[in-house]
Amino acid sequence: MVSRPHTGRRRNEAARRAVLAATISLLRRSEMKDVTIEAIAREARVGRQTIYRWWPSRAVIVLEAAEDYAEATVPDPGGAATDDLRTFLRATYVGAASDRTAPILRAIAAEALVDTQFADVLHRFTAARRAVLRSILQRHGASPELSEYLSDVTYGLLWYRLLVGHAALDETLADTTAALVVEAIEADREPRLARMPEPGLP
Amino acid sequence: MVSRPHTGRRRNEAARRAVLAATISLLRRSEMKDVTIEAIAREARVGRQTIYRWWPSRAVIVLEAAEDYAEATVPDPGGAATDDLRTFLRATYVGAASDRTAPILRAIAAEALVDTQFADVLHRFTAARRAVLRSILQRHGASPELSEYLSDVTYGLLWYRLLVGHAALDETLADTTAALVVEAIEADREPRLARMPEPGLP
Amino acid sequence: MVSRPHTGRRRNEAARRAVLAATISLLRRSEMKDVTIEAIAREARVGRQTIYRWWPSRAVIVLEAAEDYAEATVPDPGGAATDDLRTFLRATYVGAASDRTAPILRAIAAEALVDTQFADVLHRFTAARRAVLRSILQRHGASPELSEYLSDVTYGLLWYRLLVGHAALDETLADTTAALVVEAIEADREPRLARMPEPGLP
Amino acid sequence: MVSRPHTGRRRNEAARRAVLAATISLLRRSEMKDVTIEAIAREARVGRQTIYRWWPSRAVIVLEAAEDYAEATVPDPGGAATDDLRTFLRATYVGAASDRTAPILRAIAAEALVDTQFADVLHRFTAARRAVLRSILQRHGASPELSEYLSDVTYGLLWYRLLVGHAALDETLADTTAALVVEAIEADREPRLARMPEPGLP
DNA sequence: ACGTAACCGAGACGGTACGTCATGTCTTTCC
DNA sequence: GGAAAGACATGACGTACCGTCTCGGTTACGT
């Protein structure tokens, strides 16, 4: 006897999309603390149990919403443009800072700081981005170790301004950072001068 | 006529300290989401109303606890050691990453991401740190604009690793960053080569 | 088209009964001021929200508990026995004075005196009882107005002794009151003497 | 050695009067449940501790306020008018029902139902009133036992309407009750007819 | 006149109950 | 068997009073 491949109603794609859309919408309109599962279900006109059936936590909803959103709005993340570091950084910074995206990134960070199980969601999320940047940097001549470090520097700047909000994330910043990164790669290959002395020595 | 400056029982300093100590203790032992006002009151053996009387929100308790703690454990933040960039960065990174401090910093960031009114608390908190670093960088020869940028880079790295937790915040990282910063200052004064071409141009 | 009559989980009858039983139990064991919603929920092992969902106030819980209890313990309120006034009053007085019932009636009165919204709960509660007595009195020949007055007299005596507690509510009292009432009905129909001398009679 | 009779500041009579006046005022304006010690202190512009120093419970404040008030407003309770039953009942019912007095009587009853130690305050309070009425009834020819019973009937009616509030306490009611009482006294001396049969007998 | 003891107002303290909200689970009915 | 509706126990929220405990300041004796 052939085992039945599936019984019962299939997952309702409309409900899934309604939940993710409601999450994005709430994320933009409200503070994170008001993006409750209750509110998402209300907004999406969906049963609360439907959410619990398909997503293990609010964090994961937010993440999936963010990925869904990223996929829809950044159609070509791995295109030819990424060959050029400056273009990549400009797109990255400006995209992250946009009113549509920033609240989502901030929400993900907030959850990660509050909830352990969501911390590695953020871990994976950022790791994917760093991996892309690392490969670009290596194509620009950076060693694996250096590209690791420099992608932390690059994304650190992004998240820091996102977090603190004291200064803009714009194309100028992207260009400055691109220059810094290129400079660092070159310096790593042919050191300019004597390094700094050890602390405590004259 | 001067109205009476105070009537009635004075604020109990022991209760204040108990609340802050309980907050620090919970911050270290638990996830942020378990650091409820309820839990703080329980831990501090204090009436809940006493907390509401003196602190407007959980965020402010956490901040005050953090400041209280910083004051008690970092007795000399502006000492002679800060003359040396590398020493400063080592102390900053290692101190921030310590098991005692990291949870507090993370808690402050979490609140800032969730609560609008607390966001500028983080703003001021980080501004003070950047100001110190900026003055060090300027003593190392950086222009005001460059020191602004480089302190963002430096603290961005710190907060990024604090946030994502994918890599250590140690002395090696501090040294690498010190080198990057010094390199950037020098490059700003005597550019090494031709800059990168404009994107989109041949 | 008739809209859907109900969706979702039904009200849990066990929870309802548990709340009412807990209320009766607390009413007997404690002073009224200790019969808090908190305590009822604890005693009934029921969520506090469940109580707020179904009852608008503590007063209404107590009323429903009392009615539920009255229904369970006075199984035949409209039976043949009530044809006889004396039997009805004996049952009413002795029942009200019993250790099981008196605390409940006193508790209801206490709340009514303290809380406006509970006052009309007592209003309805007592009105139902007076209505029964009124119909008995009318079967005994009393006019509507007189039966209204006499049922106030009869229940007034009951509540007064319940309130002050200076004398018993027993069968002797019931009999005396039955006699008083019958006397009053007869006197209303054929005045004993020249009360106010009828015009035209000697 | 003779113990010192008193040292230190004397009790502030103004504060005492302010508390009692505030209590009477609140009793009239609010529900009993809003007459909190907090509210009394606020209204009287008096420290809360001053209340706790002199009065053991809210009930006692209410009682003292009531006595204070009665003394001030009912200068001659035992005048010649009490010779006449109807006049006495009219004054009693209308006085009790007045907007100034009813809230106070209700408050006393409420406390008596809730607080055991205050129950006999109500006991004594009502006993004094019944004693007056009893002596009037005996002057109208009632036996001691009958006058006991009839004064319960008379005051029962009063308190019942005060408690339930479903009907007025006015001069008509007083007259009707006076007639009922007179009728009962006469019937007790020369029974009209055969009494009712024992319940349960054929 | 001066000490000192008790009173006064104000108000902080640890508690407890309030009524509301969101959580994650369970149940019912419809599709 | 998926989905919407909605009841369930739980527990934190922020508020109001409770009764107690300081506080400075104010009387009003007794020396």
Rank C73-87, D83-97, D171-185, D187-201 by mean pLDDT and report only the highest. D171-185
Q: What angle do CA D39, D44, D49 make, to 5 degrees?
A: 75
Cα A129 to Cα A24, A79, B29, B156, D29, distances in angstroms = 20, 14, 31, 16, 68
- C-chain residues within 8 Å CB-CB of D164? 112, 122-123, 126
User: Which pLDDT score is estimated for B1?
Assistant: 43
- Among C12-26, C122-136, C162-176, C187-201, the range scoring the smallest mean pLDDT is C187-201
What crossing angle do the helices spanning C144-164 and C171-189 adopt, rounded to 10°?
160
Predicted confidence (pLDDT) at residue C137 exceeds the cutoff of 90: yes
Compare B120 and B140 and report the one with higher pLDDT.
B140
Q: What is the pLDDT of residues D77-100, one digit of tens each?
A: 455 455 689 999 999 999 999 988
Which nucleotide is at minimal CA–C1' distance from D10?
A: E7
Predicted confidence (pLDDT) at residue C147 exceeds the cutoff of 90: yes
| Cα A183 to Cα B195: distance, rounded to the nearest angstrom | 9
Compare B192 and D185 and report the one with higher pLDDT.
D185
- Among A127-141, A177-191, D129-143, D179-193, the range scoring the smallest mean pLDDT is D179-193
Question: Which residue does chain A place closest to B103, by CA atoms?
Answer: A113
Compare B76 and B168 and report the one with higher pLDDT.
B168
- Among A35-39, B47-51, C83-87, the range scoring the smallest mean pLDDT is C83-87
Contact (Cβ atoms closer than 8 angstroms) between residue C179 and residue C90: no
Q: Is D117 near strand F, with its CB below 7 A from some atom of it? A: no
b vs e for C73-82, b when ≥16 Cβ sit within 10 Å of the residue's Cβ? eeeeeeeeeb
Compare D3 and B145 and report the one with higher pLDDT.
B145
Burial class (CB in 10 A: 0-12, 13-18, 19+), B158: buried
Per-residue tokens: A56: 């293990």
Work out the percent of chain C whose per-residue pLDDT is above 90.
Answer: 62
Give me the mean pLDDT over the C61-66 stretch: 90
- The DSSP element (H or E) to which B24 belongs, if any, is helix B13-29
Per-residue tokens: A39: 């509110």
CB proximity list for C94: less than 8 A, separation 6 or greater: C169, C170, C171, C174
User: Which pLDDT score is estimated for D191?
Assistant: 67
Question: Please, which pLDDT band fits residue B194 given cuts at 50, 70 and 90?
Answer: very low
Q: Is residue B187 helix, strand or coil?
A: helix
Q: What is the pLDDT of residues A92-118, one digit of tens each?
A: 999 999 988 888 888 889 888 888 777
Give me the mean pLDDT over the D177-186 stretch: 94
Q: Cβ of A92 under 8 Å from any chain B Cβ?
A: no
Domain with CATH 1.10.10.60 in chain D: 13-61
Question: Please, which pLDDT band fits residue D200 given cuts at 50, 70 and 90?
Answer: very low
User: Which pLDDT score is estimated for A108?
Assistant: 86
Chains D vs C: touching, with 3+ CB pairs under 8 Å? Answer: yes
Q: Cβ of B163 under 8 Å from any chain A Cβ?
A: yes
pTM over 0.75: yes
User: Which pLDDT score is estimated for A66?
Assistant: 83
Give me the mean pLDDT over the B121-132 stretch: 89
What are the backbone dihedrals phi and psi of residue B62, each rounded to the nearest 5 degrees, phi first? -60, -45
Which nucleotide is at minimal CA–C1' distance from B53?
A: E12
Predicted confidence (pLDDT) at residue D201 exceeds the cutoff of 50: no
Which nucleotide is at minimal CA–C1' distance from A48?
A: F4
| Cα B35 to Cα B70: distance, rounded to the nearest angstrom | 19
Counting every residue written for chain C, the total comes to: 202
Predicted confidence (pLDDT) at residue D43 exceeds the cutoff of 90: yes
Q: Is residue A55 helix, strand or coil?
A: coil
Give me the mean pLDDT over the D56-76 stretch: 79
Q: Is B3 near strand F, with its CB below 7 A from some atom of it? A: no
User: Which pLDDT score is estimated for D82?
Assistant: 55
What crossing angle do the helices spanning A144-164 and A116-139 adopt, rounded to 10°?
130
- Among A83-87, A142-146, C91-95, D55-59, the range scoring the smallest mean pLDDT is A83-87
Mean predicted lDDT score pLDDT of chain C: 87
Predicted confidence (pLDDT) at residue C81 exceeds the cutoff of 80: no
Give me the mean pLDDT over the D176-202 stretch: 73
Give me the mean pLDDT over the A6-20 stretch: 78
User: Which pLDDT score is estimated for D8?
Assistant: 79
Predicted confidence (pLDDT) at residue C196 exceeds the cutoff of 50: no
Compare B74 and A84 and report the one with higher pLDDT.
A84
CB proximity list for A50: less than 8 A, separation 6 or greater: A12, A15, A19, A41
Tell me which chains share at least 3 CB pairs under 8 Å with chain A. B
Span CA (C34) to C1' (F23), Å: 34
| Cα D158 to Cα D80: distance, rounded to the nearest angstrom | 22
User: Which pLDDT score is estimated for C2?
Assistant: 53
C180 and D184: CB-CB below 8 Å?
A: yes
- C-chain residues within 8 Å CB-CB of D195? 179
Question: Please, which pLDDT band fits residue B193 given cuts at 50, 70 and 90?
Answer: low
Contact (Cβ atoms closer than 8 angstroms) between residue B155 and residue B138: no
**Cα torsion through C82, C85, C90, C91, rounded to 10:** 10
Q: Is C7 near strand F, with its CB below 7 A from some atom of it? A: yes
Please say whether the dihedral angle defined by the alpha carbons of residues C53, C59, C65 and C67, taken in this order, is positive or negative: negative
C8 phi-psi bin (left φ>0, alpha ψ -120 to 50, beta other) = left
Q: Cβ of B144 under 8 Å from any chain A Cβ?
A: no
Question: Please, which pLDDT band fits residue D152 given cuts at 50, 70 and 90?
Answer: very high
Computed on alpha carbons and rounded to an integer, the radius of gyration of chain C in Å comes to: 21
Q: What is the pLDDT of residues A135-192, one digit of tens each?
A: 999 999 999 999 999 999 999 999 999 999 999 999 999 999 999 999 999 998 876 5
Fold of B74-195: Tetracycline Repressor; domain 2 (1.10.357)
- Among A69-78, C61-70, D82-91, D141-150, the range scoring the smallest mean pLDDT is A69-78
CATH class for the region spanning A13-61: mainly alpha
Q: What is the pLDDT of residues C94-104, one digit of tens each?
A: 999 998 889 88
Predicted confidence (pLDDT) at residue A89 exceeds the cutoff of 90: yes
Question: Please, which pLDDT band fits residue D192 given cuts at 50, 70 and 90?
Answer: low
Domain with CATH 1.10.357.10 in chain B: 74-195
Nearest Cα residue to A186 out of A153, A137, A151: A137
| Cα C187 to Cα C85: distance, rounded to the nearest angstrom | 17
User: Which pLDDT score is estimated for C100?
Assistant: 85
Compare C5 and B144 and report the one with higher pLDDT.
B144
User: Which pLDDT score is estimated for C67?
Assistant: 85
Q: Is D8 near strand F, with its CB below 7 A from some atom of it? A: yes
CA B62 to chain centre: 12
Work out the percent of chain D whose per-residue pLDDT is above 70.
Answer: 85
User: Which pLDDT score is estimated for A57?
Assistant: 87
The alpha-carbon gap from A153 to the nearest alpha carbon of chain B, in Å, equals 5
Chains B vs A: touching, with 3+ CB pairs under 8 Å? Answer: yes
- Among A162-176, C158-172, D177-191, the range scoring the smallest mean pLDDT is D177-191
Per-residue tokens: B6: 């105070």
Per-residue tokens: D68: 């204070």
Mutate to test the interface with B, among A33, A160, A177, A198 (most CBs of B within 10 A): A160
Question: Please, which pLDDT band fits residue D195 given cuts at 50, 70 and 90?
Answer: very low
